[in-house]
Structure 1
């Protein structure tokens, strides 16, 4: 399985600048790894209606388990995506991202 190199802060910076669209091959590998985490505890974003805020949540162990909101709420989708990226980074590398 692909291991994320925690020293590659440049990849996190690339994601922060451009979270959508085409990414470099190396960033795409990182995103693929992040998105293929085990179901349990996987971070997801929820939205209440087309104009509601974005809420951070985690999946349960099985698909039928309830989705558990974390209490974090974001008005801006890009801020929400960045928060998820940082959480997944920490989960997979064991290190906090120092970028804000």
Structure 2
């Protein structure tokens, strides 16, 4: 399985600058790894209605388990995506992402 190199802060910076659209091949590998985590505890963004804020939740152990809200609320999708990226980075590398 692909291992994320925690020293590749350039990839995190690339995502922060451009979270949508085409990415470099190496960043795409990182994103693919992040998005294929085990179901249990996987982060997910939720939204109440079309114009409501984004909320962060986590999946349970099985698809039948309810999504557990974390309490994080975001006003923009861009902000939410960056925070989720940082949380997944920490979960997979064991290191905080020191970029803001």
Give your verdict on TM over 0.5: yes
Q: Distance in 1 between matches of 2:59 and 2:19?
A: 22
| SS of residue matched to 1:38 | coil
Residue of structure 2 equivalent to 1:60 = 60
Residue of structure 2 equivalent to 1:75 = 75
The size of the alignment, in residue pairs, is 100
After TM superposition, the score normalised by the length of structure 1 is 0.99
| SS of residue matched to 1:71 | strand
| SS of residue matched to 1:49 | coil
Q: What residue ranges of structure 1 are gaps of 5+ in the alignment?
A: none
Residue of structure 2 equivalent to 1:11 = 11
Q: What residue ranges of structure 2 are gaps of 5+ in the alignment?
A: none
Residue of structure 2 equivalent to 1:96 = 96
After TM superposition, the score normalised by the length of structure 2 is 0.99
Segments of 4+ in structure 1 off by > 2 A?
Answer: none
